[in-house]
Amino acid sequence: MRLTIRGGRVIDPASNTDAVKDVVVEDGKIVELTPGLEGRGQKSKIQNPKSKIIDASGKWVVPGLIDMHTHLREPGHEYKETIKTGTLAAAAGGFTTICCMPNTDPVNDNRSITDYILKMAKEASYARVYPVGAISKGLKGESLAEFGELKEAGAIAVSDDGHPVMNSQLMRRALEYAKRFGLLVISHCEDLYLAGKGVMNEGVIATRLGLRGIPNAVEAGMVARDILLAEFTGGRLHVAHVSTEDSVRYIREAKKRGVPVTAETAPHYFSLTEEAVLDYDTNAKMSPPLRTKKDVAAICEGLRDGTIDVIASDHAPHSSLEKELEFDAAANGIVGLETSLSLSLKLVKDGILDPMSLVAKMSTNPAHILGIPAGVLKPGVSADLTIIDPEIPRTIDIHSFKSKSCNSPFDGWNLQGKSVLTMVEGSIVFEEM
């Protein structure tokens, strides 16, 4: 089957391409990228009854988007999400590759869970799934998980996710031990003692609402610790969902020094502030919490100047059982796979990122950080790509989500731009053209 994506604006940071080109896909691979393809070879394609042409004029054709921070909830919490529904949501959101965090039940701290996730993902086949293994057995922060075995089974990185490694000795050893297996260590930076029973950003709104606050130092303090440990051990550190001004500053300064650190933020940290909590909306409850305008500005600046390498959704499906509760009792997190791209496209509208940088943060950079053969459009590579309509108006409707959960604070938002076609290994896994 030969397929030509015709006339789209091909944006591929890996090859520094931003030009109108035709992309020819055959047998799951990109075989050609050519301007003015009509002139040659077209005849034979038209004669081939199996050939197909997709008109992508006015649209962007980009390497398949990669979300390196999601939660697929399977095994253990299938009522919130399954690997099938999660990868469907990924495809709908324009993502061809996602990483899933290990906080399943049982925890992904061993080969059998990693095997299971990969098997289910293969069966679903809507997106490529790279499991992230646990840093500590059972996410308990007491002993190292078997990184070697996790890596052999297919884990791409290690993280204790929302159970931050409070024991600095364990974190040091994790960074050291991971080096032997080339594993990235992803850190959810949160000082649990300092966070205490806080449920939202500490500040005037928390005070007014009578909710316990979480100061910025909860995140920035651990960012600083982990940067120092990465610098000392040489282990590769990736800071998850950066939300504060201080964190951005520390990461910027560390990168200048050559520390092996990369960072991501999530769309909600540049789209919302703590004011979203004003109605005690539990869909605005997350960890780290939504911060202030000043922090949002710092996140945008971090994205702009390259301090923040990646936009990842931190897709965290929860059902009404976890969310329709008192604010104090509600679970942290929001779904993000199906809103991430539209929210991020706003950065381009607002002049914070150019299209090339946006694609880099949602595809090229995560591929590079994870060390996976993705995030590039060139002949010979697997045809993992996303077609984006950057102008089409879109009203977020949580009921249209492919995800099993709809815990999103963006319901009803009017945005511009979305993915209209998602292709994994030459197969169209989502199409709304």
List the catalytic residues: 314
Strands 261-265 and 237-239: parallel
Residue 397 binding another protein, by CB under 8 A: no
Q: What is the spatial distance between Cα 235 and Cα 200, in angstroms, rounded to a whole number?
A: 32
Between residues 176 and 354, which has the closer beta carbon with respect to another protein? 176
* Window contacting another protein (CB under 8 A); options: 154-162, 166-174, 371-379, 394-402: 166-174
Residue 170 binding another protein, by CB under 8 A: yes
* Window contacting another protein (CB under 8 A); options: 14-22, 171-179, 211-219, 400-408: 171-179
Between residues 179 and 346, which has the closer beta carbon with respect to another protein? 179
Between residues 26 and 231, which has the closer beta carbon with respect to another protein? 231
| Candidate list 95, 177, 250, 410; residue touching another protein; CB under 8 A | 177
Residue 372 binding another protein, by CB under 8 A: no
| Candidate list 20, 31, 53, 144; residue touching another protein; CB under 8 A | 144
Between residues 178 and 186, which has the closer beta carbon with respect to another protein? 178
Q: Are 63 and 386 in contact (CB under 8 A)?
A: yes
Strands 157-159 and 184-187: parallel
Q: How many CA atoms lie within 13 A of 259 on its CB side?
A: 27
Between residues 147 and 401, which has the closer beta carbon with respect to another protein? 147
Residue 180 binding another protein, by CB under 8 A: yes
Between residues 48 and 143, which has the closer beta carbon with respect to another protein? 143
Helix (H, G, I), strand (E, B) or coil at 64: coil
- Which 333-352 positions form the footprint of another protein (CB under 8 A)? none
| Candidate list 78, 146, 246, 354; residue touching another protein; CB under 8 A | 146
Question: Rounded to the nearest 5°, which phi and psi values hold at 198?
Answer: -60, 145
| Candidate list 58, 148, 196, 371; residue touching another protein; CB under 8 A | 148
Residue 255 binding another protein, by CB under 8 A: no
Residue count, binding to another protein (CB under 8 A): 18
* Window contacting another protein (CB under 8 A); options: 115-123, 124-132, 147-155, 319-327: 147-155
- Provide, rounded to whole angstroms, the least separation between the CB of residue 20 and another protein: 47
Burial of 414 (0-12, 13-18, 19+ CB in 10 A): exposed
Q: What is the spatial distance between Cα 351 and Cα 286, in angstroms, rounded to a whole number?
A: 27
| Candidate list 147, 250, 269, 410; residue touching another protein; CB under 8 A | 147
Q: Are 160 and 178 in contact (CB under 8 A)?
A: no
Between residues 48 and 167, which has the closer beta carbon with respect to another protein? 167
Residue 107 binding another protein, by CB under 8 A: no
- Provide, rounded to whole angstroms, the least separation between the CB of residue 180 and another protein: 5
Q: What is the spatial distance between Cα 86 and Cα 112, in angstroms, rounded to a whole number?
A: 20
- Please choose, from the candidates 140, 92, 267, 113, the residue with its C-alpha nearest in 3D space to the C-alpha of residue 132: 113
- Which 219-248 positions form the footprint of another protein (CB under 8 A)? 233
Q: Are 85 and 402 in contact (CB under 8 A)?
A: yes
Between residues 183 and 266, which has the closer beta carbon with respect to another protein? 183
Which residues 6+ apart lie within 8 Å of 47 measured at CB? Answer: none
Residue 212 binding another protein, by CB under 8 A: no
Q: Are 175 and 184 in contact (CB under 8 A)?
A: no
Residue 137 binding another protein, by CB under 8 A: yes
* Window contacting another protein (CB under 8 A); options: 163-171, 282-290, 321-329, 385-393: 163-171
Q: Are 59 and 390 in contact (CB under 8 A)?
A: yes
136 strand-pairing partners: 144
Angle among Cα 66, 17, 421 to the nearest 5 degrees reads 45
Q: Show the beta-strand stretches assigned E in 35-90.
A: 52-55, 60-63, 65-70
Q: What is the spatial distance between Cα 400 and Cα 339, in angstroms, rounded to a whole number?
A: 11
Q: How many CA atoms lie within 13 A of 357 on its CB side?
A: 19
What residue ranges bind another protein (CB under 8 A)? Answer: 137, 143-149, 167, 169-170, 173-174, 176-177, 179-180, 233
